[in-house]
Amino acid sequence: MLIVIEKVLDAQEVQDFRERLSNARWIDGAPTAGTRSVSVKQNLQLDRSDADAVELGNIILRKLGHHPLFISASLAERIWPPVFNCYQNGGHYGTHSDAALMRLPEAGLTIRSDLSATVFLSEPEDYDGGELLIEDQFGAQAIKLAAGDMVLYPSSSLHQVASVTRGQRICAITWMQSAVAETAARALLFDLDQSIQALTPARPEDDPDINRLIHVYHNLLRRWASP
């Protein structure tokens, strides 16, 4: 299940991010890849302790924490501090899967990565290549979004970032542990919730059918959630 969430950051915020990031201290991203991933990863990253990374990452986390579509789609319990990266001059990240367990000892944080997210910060017309290629049951999907938009996808999927052959592709990525680990169960809950949201405005308050659907939603969530 791939879900695009538009305008996580608005145009002004994207511009502010890009100004901050143009003066940031980019370092080689390969050392943070797993041992097998090192040979396929070629990009630049901000160090986790970098003041810009921490501050901008917190802005994204605050936005996501209040975003109804993100909450409904992810049912996120724990979110990894966003990582900023930059691909240019042929930079790419070959086919890989993300680590299942991620530990941040200094924050006392361990997450099981259920969902991965990429927030695009460069406009698609400003670079060639750089598609995020995600393999799902229907084949590889090529994702290249407007600046400020985000894609959510299962961390269990194989994925890659195609070579950037012109310009610069800057993005923020993060991972989250969901209250519902199973992708298929989470997808059903998301569909049900979205339909309830769509039907509710046209119905009277206290509509018995809507109430029953909400009842079903919460009892499925109760059955499947393991916070």
> Which residues would be at the binding site for Ni ion (CB under 5 A)?
98
Closest residue to Ni ion using C-beta atoms: 98
- Give least dist CB 52 to Ni ion, A: 22
Write the CA distances from 101 to 45, 69, 180, 192, 224, integer angstroms. Answer: 21, 25, 16, 29, 20
- Give least dist CB 183 to Ni ion, A: 16
Give every CB contact of residue 90 below 8 A, 6+ residues apart in sequence: 42, 163, 164, 165
Write the CA distances from 123 to 71, 146, 147, 168, integer angstroms. Answer: 25, 5, 5, 9
The pairing of beta strand 101-104 with beta strand 76-79: unpaired
Nearer to Ni ion, 4 or 196 (CB): 4
- Give least dist CB 227 to Ni ion, A: 25
Nearer to Ni ion, 153 or 190 (CB): 153
Query: Which tokens in the block code for residue 6?
Result: 């538009």
- Give least dist CB 174 to Ni ion, A: 11
Nearer to Ni ion, 98 or 114 (CB): 98
Nearer to Ni ion, 15 or 183 (CB): 183
Q: Which residue has the tokens 């916070």?
A: 227
